[in-house]
Chains A and B, each alone.
Chain A
Amino acid sequence: NAGVTQTPKFRILKIGQSMTLQCTQDMNHNYMYWYRQDPGMGLKLIYYSVGAGITDKGEVPNGYNVSRSTTEDFPLRLELAAPSQTSVYFCASTPALAGAHLYNEQFFGPGTRLTVL
């Protein structure tokens, strides 16, 4: 298994441009997440999804949109890039709750470093 993959690894955007950060997992996980990580800060949840067709906002959703048309893919869309969106973005996934397993490991992708100038 490749696990969680993210593309691109790096990107520089101009203010007002748009882009989509891609995330794919091949572990058949139901839950998927997008986080941003700013220097000296922990990871902040942007959006998450509990399954195909279902998405919900996290702590910092403003300026972003997501979709989940398949179990494998969870793209993150930036419509009008702003300097405040300069950050490292991580996608993650976990399996769904299963029987007596009341917890599950969260698997992270390698991240996308985005700079908005």
Chain B
Amino acid sequence: GENVEQHPSTLSVQEGDSAVIKCTYSDSASNYFPWYKQELGKGPQLIIDIRSNVGEKKDQRIAVTLNKTAKHFSLHITETQPEDSAVYFCAASNWLNTGNQFYFGTGTSLTVIP
């Protein structure tokens, strides 16, 4: 099955700086890569996603890049704010498979220091 690795496990940045979280995946058939933000005591919430036919996607201060050849994708947060502090998870999925199982990374705890 798919194996998703995520780095770093913890990340601290000064407010206003950028944060980058990286993930690698093993199954070349994976074609959908969402990123989730999980705040304390809550369920994960989708913040951005990218499909395998796209190399980059941006939504205001967050962006995701995908390198299919190297099998890695990254989350970029610019101009970080204290409310960006949370745990971020990457995931990989193959929508052509029955059931569309999602495989998650182990998470990155991001702290934005005011």
Residues of A within 8 A of B31 (CB): 102-103
Chain B 59-82: CB-based contact to A (< 8 A → 1; otherwise 0): 000000000000000000000000
Residues of A within 8 A of B114 (CB): none
Q: Which residue of A43, A50, A58, A104 contacts B44 across the interface (Cβ within 8 Å)?
A: A43
Question: Is A41 positioned at the interface, with any CB of B under 8 Å from its CB?
Answer: yes
Chain A 98-117: CB-based contact to B (< 8 A → 1; otherwise 0): 00001111101111000000
Contacting pair A43 B42 (CB below 8 A): no
Question: Is A53 positioned at the interface, with any CB of B under 8 Å from its CB?
Answer: no
Contacting pair A56 B99 (CB below 8 A): yes
Number of interface residues of B (CB under 8 A): 30
Minimum distance in angstroms from A71 CB to a CB of chain B: 16
Chain B 36-47: CB-based contact to A (< 8 A → 1; otherwise 0): 100001111110
**CA–CA, A11 and B49, complex, Å:** 33
Which residues of A71-117 have CB atoms within 8 Å of chain B's CB atoms?
90, 92, 94, 97, 102-106, 108-111
**CA–CA, A90 and B45, complex, Å:** 12
Contacting pair A50 B99 (CB below 8 A): yes
Residue of A with least CB distance to B1: A59
Contacting pair B105 A42 (CB below 8 A): yes
Q: Which residue of A4, A50, A56, A106 contacts B102 across the interface (Cβ within 8 Å)?
A: A106
Contacting pair A109 B43 (CB below 8 A): yes
Contacting pair B42 A45 (CB below 8 A): no
Contacting pair A90 B43 (CB below 8 A): yes
Contacting pair A103 B51 (CB below 8 A): yes
**CA–CA, A90 and B38, complex, Å:** 12
Residues of A within 8 A of B4 (CB): 42
* 4 closest residue pairs by CB, A with B: A108-B43, A42-B104, A103-B32, A43-B104
| 9 residue pairs A–B, Cβ–Cβ below 8 Å | A4-B43, A40-B9, A41-B107, A42-B105, A44-B104, A50-B98, A59-B1, A103-B49, A106-B46
